[in-house]
Amino acid sequence: MYIVSNNALAPIKLPFNSSRNQFLGYDIAKNGQTYISNSKDLYVGSMGNNFKKIYSSSNGFRLVAATTDKVAVASGAVNSQADEGGTVTSARANTGYVTVIDSAGKAHEAQRFASSIAWSPDGNYLLVSGASGNAVFDSSLHQVASVSVNNAGLLTWLNNTDLLYSIDSQLWLYSVKTGQSEKLTALATNDSLTAIYPSSDGSYVYFSADNGEQAEVYRLGLAGQVSNNTLTSLSIFLPETLGSCHLNYLDFNQPLFLIAYPPGVLAQNCQNLAQGELRNYGLDVSQFHYQLIQLAP
């Protein structure tokens, strides 16, 4: 394992002997505290150094999630259920545990199988997803909310009280305070959301989708931003290839038009083709920044 700090890559000296097949769980809190587990023991160190053991369990850890003054771990396993002929027909969640250990070493434990765990940005709430559904707990592992939505996936904290999640091609917002859900947007029915990434200030959410032929990344404004019709036009015909020139775009403060060209082709020729294509769609070429990218031989 390695840690990246100040543009430098340094190996982490593990506090235990590890083997190639051994599971390693880890997470880094915002204050630089590094937590690492070898499935049975949990250690903490400062920026990957001077580790000390703070917790042990015979249940075995699979997941580690850290916040500023505490860490959560999840234990347990999934057993396969077979029919009389020995064929696996379904998966059944075995008994699992979620444990929160605070900076004083005090542990709170709840019997619940988890396939993923994630702290809210302020560290006050823990999202636990698994075979029993999606639930939100406080730091003492008292349940405060349940996301009772069928087929909800990709649950992600937007802020300290709101969660984003997907249902197939739809993006939804769930309020922990009110227990209400709101549909934010929907793509074509053959699209499937694959990842959700909110911006650090919560004003935008980026999400990716795949329709079986190509993957795309989208951005949605959550703070009343005015929609840019130019970007809607770009999404109609991009990405596109004209001759040897590959055209695409990035949606930020001002649209960035990406122009990739192979060796031996004049960059300016590709830019001229790109600007001609924009004019064909009635777009003002002066509205864009252009980035020329030479492809590898």
Question: Within this chain, do residues 75 and 160 fall inside the same structural domain, yes or no?
Answer: no
Looking at residue 91, its pLDDT comes to 38
Looking at residue 10, its pLDDT comes to 80
Whole-model pTM: value is 0.74
Give which of 227, 216, 159, 175 is closest to 193, Cα–Cα.
216
With a cut of 70, say whether residue 252 has pLDDT above it.
no
With a cut of 60, say whether residue 234 has pLDDT above it.
yes
With a cut of 80, say whether residue 87 has pLDDT above it.
no
**Two tokens, residue 293:** 């990218």
Question: Within this chain, do residues 260 and 139 fall inside the same structural domain, yes or no?
Answer: no
Of 23 and 71, the one with more pLDDT = 71
How do residues 192-221 score in pLDDT, each as one tens digit?
Answer: 999 999 998 999 999 999 988 888 888 888
pLDDT tier for residue 253 given thresholds of 50, 70 and 90: low
Question: Within this chain, do residues 5 and 137 fall inside the same structural domain, yes or no?
Answer: yes
Q: Which domain holds residue 34?
A: 1-148
Question: Within this chain, do residues 11 and 139 fall inside the same structural domain, yes or no?
Answer: yes
Question: Within this chain, do residues 71 and 89 fall inside the same structural domain, yes or no?
Answer: yes
Question: Within this chain, do residues 23 and 143 fall inside the same structural domain, yes or no?
Answer: yes
Which of 148, 171, 200 lies at the terminal end of a domain, its last residue? 148
Question: Within this chain, do residues 287 and 163 fall inside the same structural domain, yes or no?
Answer: no
With a cut of 90, say whether residue 13 has pLDDT above it.
no
Number of domains in the chain: 3
Question: Within this chain, do residues 5 and 92 fall inside the same structural domain, yes or no?
Answer: yes
Question: Within this chain, do residues 44 and 178 fall inside the same structural domain, yes or no?
Answer: no
pLDDT tier for residue 223 given thresholds of 50, 70 and 90: confident
Q: Quick check: 2 and 11 in contact, CB under 8 A?
A: yes
pLDDT tier for residue 292 given thresholds of 50, 70 and 90: very high
Question: Within this chain, do residues 50 and 6 fall inside the same structural domain, yes or no?
Answer: yes
Question: Within this chain, do residues 210 and 250 fall inside the same structural domain, yes or no?
Answer: no
Q: Mean pLDDT, to the nearest integer, of 46-75?
A: 87
Which of 182, 202, 225 lies at the terminal end of a domain, its last residue? 225
Mean model confidence pLDDT for the chain:
85
Looking at residue 295, its pLDDT comes to 92
Q: Mean pLDDT, to the nearest integer, of 42-54?
A: 84
With a cut of 50, say whether residue 80 has pLDDT above it.
no
Residue 275 backbone phi and psi in degrees, to 5 = -70, -35
Q: Above pLDDT 70, what percent of the chain?
A: 89
Residues in CB range of 204: below 8 A, 6 or more apart: 198, 219, 220, 221, 222, 223, 225
How do residues 109-152 score in pLDDT, each as one tens digit?
Answer: 999 989 999 999 999 999 999 888 899 999 999 999 998 888 89
Which of 94, 124, 148 lies at the terminal end of a domain, its last residue? 148
Question: Within this chain, do residues 136 and 184 fall inside the same structural domain, yes or no?
Answer: no
* Residue 112 C-alpha from the chain's centroid: 23
Of 245 and 5, the one with more pLDDT = 245
CA pair distance 70, 79, nearest whole angstrom: 30
Of 79 and 26, the one with more pLDDT = 26
Of 112 and 94, the one with more pLDDT = 112
